[in-house]
Amino acid sequence: MEADVVIVGGGPAGMACALRLAQLIDAHNASGVDEPITKENIYVLEKAREVGQHCLSGALLDPRAMNELLPGFEKEAPLDAEVTKESVWFLTRKGEHRFPIVPPPLRDHGNYVISLNRFVKWMGQKVEEAGITVFTGFAGAEVLWSDESRDAETARVAGVLTDDKGVDKDGQPKGNFEPGYELRAKVTVLAEGTRGNLAKEVIGRLGLEDPEHAQTYGLGIKELWEIPAGRVAKGEVIYTLGYPLTAREYGGAWVYGTGETESGGTLVSVGYVTGLDYQDPRTDPHHVFQSFKEHRFARRILEGGKMIRYGAKSLPYGGWLTMPRIYGNGWMLLGDSASFLNSQRLKGIHLAIKSGMLAAEAAFDALVSGDSSADTLSEYKAAVDRSWIREELWRVRNFHQGFEHGLLEGMVNAGIQQVMRGGNLGPDAENQAGYTRMERLDAIGPAEEKRAAMVGNAKGDGKLTFDRLTDVFHSGTRHDEDQPVHLVVEDLNICSGRCVKEYGNPCQYFCPAAVYEMVEKDASDTAGAASDTVSQMSDGVGHASDRRSNPGSNLAPAKELRINFTNCVHCKTCDIMDPYQIIRWVPPEGGGGPNYDGM
């Protein structure tokens, strides 16, 4: 199937790209040109069942980019509340202290509290009204290449292959089998969000990431609550740092007042972001969030309320310095896939939208000229460098890196950077991938009492706090159980051998959806077996174990890895934080995943 432009990912970046491209084509055709450009061969691929279902954020919208894309958008866009009040708090184990002034980066007057799900759904309607086709339920499975080159200067992306439909747990076609489509495009735009599988393929194959400025990530966990009226005002924004994290970890909480409910209560977005560069492999970001809600500060807000929805999403923290090359022959990277997020302001939606607009302008030039080479698409990077994207991100280029050695040093570095417009006293910071900071159990020792609120899985009380399975239920996650496991473990021996001893299987802690479990293995079930397997069960789980036996013995490891892949909320944390980098997230059959309706 031939296409002019294929945009993979129907989030804010992808939709902004499609809408801006439609605007440019309409203006071009209205100018009386001899050869008008058609929009019939421009496609947006979205892996969710419906537009917006996989979109999750806090969310606060800086309207700057939308004012450029659709002036006057506020009159019709689904905006929950304009920010009217902010506060920042530092939490200790038993108390809280309010900052006397709100730091300038966290002043949100003029921004809007939104549901990113509903906002992107509205953007999708605008895209379709503009004449662009949006295919939902189709995931980008592989990049199509024109040749075998691994040179970023010469390699050309020729499109994408979508996912196969109707494949059973053993990889065999079912009665409803449909092979994936080869979409061969002049320009392929990757707007998949954080750690997109196609963006990862392009970055890895072409060596686009600087190892001295490797991307670092955070994991945001969110719940939507209905609470009694009068506790949080509509449009109120609250940030916290400190407890339950210690001075060694990076992260903090938010509470956003969304508006009134039909029953007279208040709807609030509450969540916690934990930096995925912590040292203790037993750290559980979901437990961190639950412990935050037990603190008296959060308890006063939430107690007596009702949790309605749950979700989790990773986000890129590295900023400008960790940005990979974002263009090449026939391809461009947008939004979170390209590191367009301001970790100091905790905002990236406006940057994603602006990146989509600039990529659309480069794609339009390629269609007009008939040249989609890197020479033409390099204008995308040049436009980014001229835009307020660079202006905003350059000023915070060292921000997250400044917290590498803890909270106190990070706060000092942040102050220096504020004075020096993002610079350090010395050169710009270097940083390694977050998983490399994870220490082995024998080096880190037993968990201290002050870390009890963040290590191991949370049990939950079912009212204020919840276990992960209860939360996953509230995410609306659904996958067909009869399909291959989409969380590919490349070396199963490590899971039941080295990782048990060295790191204590951190996958069972960093995953916010209870996908990974180490379970007791029935020795009689595997006696004499001599192969390493992952078997997809009809109940939607896979089992991974080291099933080797020595001649004359029936030795078996004490535990095996169970992969409950149907719980997966597509946050990609396992792909990011696995210390051996042997877990690879690939898209399940299109349409599967969370349903972040109203989130």
pLDDT digits (tens, 9 = 90+) for 308-334: 999 999 999 999 999 999 999 999 999
For residue 535, pLDDT over 70 is answered with no
For residue 552, pLDDT over 50 is answered with no
Amino acid at 256: Y
Q: Write down the domain spans for the chain.
A: 2-69+119-211+320-394, 80-113+217-316, 400-437, 480-585
Per-residue pLDDT at 555:
47
Q: What is the DSSP string of 414-478?
A: HHHHHHTTT--SSSPPPB--GGGGPPPHHHH-SPPGGGTTTBS-----SSS---HHHHHHTTT-B
Band (27; pLDDT cuts 50, 70, 90): very high
Tell me which residue of 348, 281, 269 sits closest to 309, measured CA to CA: 269
The two tokens of residue 192 are: 């998949």
Q: Which residue in the block uniquely carries the two structure tokens 């995925």? A: 276
The two tokens of residue 570 are: 């597509």
Band (523; pLDDT cuts 50, 70, 90): very low
Per-residue pLDDT at 446:
84
Q: Which helix (H) or strand (E) holds 353?
A: helix 349-369
Per-residue pLDDT at 406:
86
pLDDT digits (tens, 9 = 90+) for 103-131: 999 999 999 999 999 999 999 999 999 99
H-helix segments, 188-333: 197-206, 285-294, 296-302
Q: What is the mean pLDDT of residues 69-97?
A: 97
Band (418; pLDDT cuts 50, 70, 90): confident
For residue 522, pLDDT over 80 is answered with no
Band (541; pLDDT cuts 50, 70, 90): low
pLDDT digits (tens, 9 = 90+) for 457-504: 999 999 999 999 999 999 999 999 999 999 999 998 899 999 999 999
Backbone angles phi, psi at 225, to 5 degrees: -120, 145
Per-residue pLDDT at 152:
96
Band (554; pLDDT cuts 50, 70, 90): very low
Q: Of 38 and 557, which is predicted with more confidence?
A: 38
For residue 91, pLDDT over 50 is answered with yes
Band (542; pLDDT cuts 50, 70, 90): low
| Fold of the CATH domain 2-69+119-211+320-394 | FAD/NAD(P)-binding domain (3.50.50)
Torsion of CA 165, 166, 167, 169, to 10 degrees: 130
Q: What is the DSSP string of 506-538?
A: THHHH-TT--EEEEE--HHHHTT----EEEE-T
Q: By percentage, how much of the chain surpasses pLDDT 90? A: 86
| Fold of the CATH domain 480-585 | Alpha-Beta Plaits (3.30.70)
Per-residue pLDDT at 549:
33
Q: What is the DSSP string of 482-514?
A: SS--SEEES-HHHHHTHHHHHT--THHHH-TT-
**Rounded distance, CA 391 to CA 440, Å?**
40
For residue 528, pLDDT over 50 is answered with no
Give the list of residues 6+ apart from residue 10 with CB closer than 8 angstroms, or none: 44, 45, 46, 48, 51, 52, 120, 124, 134, 136
**Rounded distance, CA 447 to CA 263, Å?**
44
Average pLDDT, rounded, for the chain: 93
Q: Which helix (H) or strand (E) holds 161?
A: strand 157-162
| Fold of the CATH domain 80-113+217-316 | D-Amino Acid Oxidase; Chain A, domain 2 (3.30.9)
Backbone angles phi, psi at 282, to 5 degrees: -85, -5
The two tokens of residue 309 are: 């929805």
Q: Using N-to-C axis directions, what is the helix angle for 349-369 and 12-30, rounded to 10°?
A: 40
pLDDT digits (tens, 9 = 90+) for 200-232: 999 999 999 998 999 999 999 999 999 999 999
Q: Which of 276-285, 324-333, 415-424 shows the lowest mean pLDDT across its residues?
A: 415-424
Supply the pTM of this predicted model: 0.94
pLDDT digits (tens, 9 = 90+) for 351-368: 999 999 999 999 999 999
Q: By percentage, how much of the chain surpasses pLDDT 70? A: 94
Amino acid at 73: F
Q: What is the DSSP string of 526-593?
A: HTT----EEEE-TTS-EEEE-----TT-----SEEEEE-GGG--S--HHHHH-TT--EEE---STB-B
Q: Which helix (H) or strand (E) holds 24?
A: helix 12-30
pLDDT digits (tens, 9 = 90+) for 233-279: 999 999 999 999 999 999 999 999 999 999 999 999 999 999 999 99
Give the list of residues 6+ apart from residue 513 with CB closer than 8 angstroms, or none: 312, 468, 471, 472, 475, 477, 567, 568, 569, 571
Per-residue pLDDT at 445:
83
Q: Of 262 and 156, which is predicted with more confidence?
A: 156
For residue 527, pLDDT over 60 is answered with no
Q: How far is CA 11 from CA 44, 52, 127, 499, in A?
A: 10, 7, 12, 36
